[in-house]
Amino acid sequence: MPAAPALHASTPARLFSVASLALAALVSEQAYAAPLKFKRQSSAPASITLVTNLAFNRNPGGLINQVTVLQQRYGTPAGDSSSGSSDSAPQPPMPAIADAQFYGSVTVGSPAQSFRVLFDTGSSDFWIPSSDCADAPCAAHSQFVSLSSSSFVSTGRSVSTQYGAASTIGTTATDTVVVGPLTLPQCPFVLATSEPDASSKSTAFDGILGLAPSVSSPLSASVFALHLSRGGAEASLDIGAPDSAHFTGELSYTPRTSTTQWKVALDRVRIGDTTLAAASTPAVLDSGITLIGVPPATSDAIHASLKSIPFAGGMHIVPCTGGPDVVLAVAGRTFTLHNEDYVMPYGFGYCVSLFVSLEAPGGAWVLGDAVMRRVYTVFDGAQSRVGFADAV
């Protein structure tokens, strides 16, 4: 991901149109320039239960929005960007929803107010709706009442950001935030005062808590792991240490290769007998996205082997069964994605391929939930490394 653009002081009324990391840079620069300090409620590892949004799996509309998120974060998705159709694959309704598969709860304020958030390793944003927001998407979700919190401090900067098709305008603030066993006093976040895009009304979560490396990100300097489920089983965010009940075998670690992303170097990737990625190919772990972003030539090779039908936004319609395994090697280990791991039901007997053509800097891959459902992933900010094991 390109570095965030430089930000300059301005009057409170001025709005900054920034991408994910730029928003986080603004929050950390203006509200909390030092790394966050936290208090542990317990010395033992703890887990936050993540809700699996089964509605996401029943309708591929959310994937269309996620292609836009990929474009905003990492580059330009290649391929057909029209809304076209195929005679061979009839078109079910495609609602414009900006949603995700997994989310959990945190509290903000004193006394605590609870919010459902998307735990997003692909951004450093942390925002929740404000009670001052009168837009329909805000009213459909929990809203933070700042006057009810004795620890709330407004830091008075106006910002705007974009998540897929949905935009958010708000003001920066700090307050006490509790994430599982961690209590974070004076944690910076953004109070959304406007969510004008109507598609945000249907999201299952209230806000986003970014976990990408940043001084403003609540967990990025500690150890946390994602255990994402398949088929509606329980999922969790494990905090403080990996949970051995959520993986099999030993964890294998590889260095994080970026100061602003959870980026690692892949050893190789192949589908059948075809090599898709050679040693040292960069890959970003992004839990805010279900898709797998790959370079255009790689996408062509994958979808040729899957006998796909081109669809919209660089996506492809594929058969739901019979696809070859994709073997991903990282940290000296190999992990296998089966056919059911990289497709999502579309309708009329077809599936949507979760591989998307993406022109990212350095030919980077983006590994979303489709990979992390199969691979237990540990984000170790203390030692700047990422661990992998087979998920259970």
Q: What share of the chain is helix, strand, coil (3-state, %, to 5)?
A: 15, 40, 40
Most confident stretch, 38-42, 57-61, 369-373: 369-373
φ/ψ of 21, rounded to 5, equals: -70, -30
> What mean pLDDT comes out for the span 2-29?
32
> What mean pLDDT comes out for the span 365-387?
96
Dist CA 353 CA 84 (whole Å):
16
Instruction: Supply 361's token pair.
Output: 């800097």
Closest CA to 264 of 213, 224, 189: 213
Q: Indicate the pLDDT class of residue 120, thresholds 50, 70 and 90.
A: very high
Query: Whole-number mean pLDDT of the chain?
Result: 81
- For CA atoms 390, 69, 299, 306, the dihedral sign is positive
Instruction: Supply 52's token pair.
Output: 């699996």
Residues identified as active-site: 120, 286
Q: Indicate the pLDDT class of residue 60, thresholds 50, 70 and 90.
A: low
Q: Indicate the pLDDT class of residue 354, thresholds 50, 70 and 90.
A: very high
Strands 39-40 and 182-194: antiparallel
For residue 227, pLDDT beyond 50:
yes
For residue 328, pLDDT beyond 90:
yes
Q: What is the pLDDT of residues 191-219, one digit of tens each?
A: 999 987 766 777 888 999 999 998 777 78
- For CA atoms 190, 193, 199, 205, the dihedral sign is positive
DSSP 145: -
Three-class SS state of 306? coil
Contact 291, 66 (CB under 8 A): yes
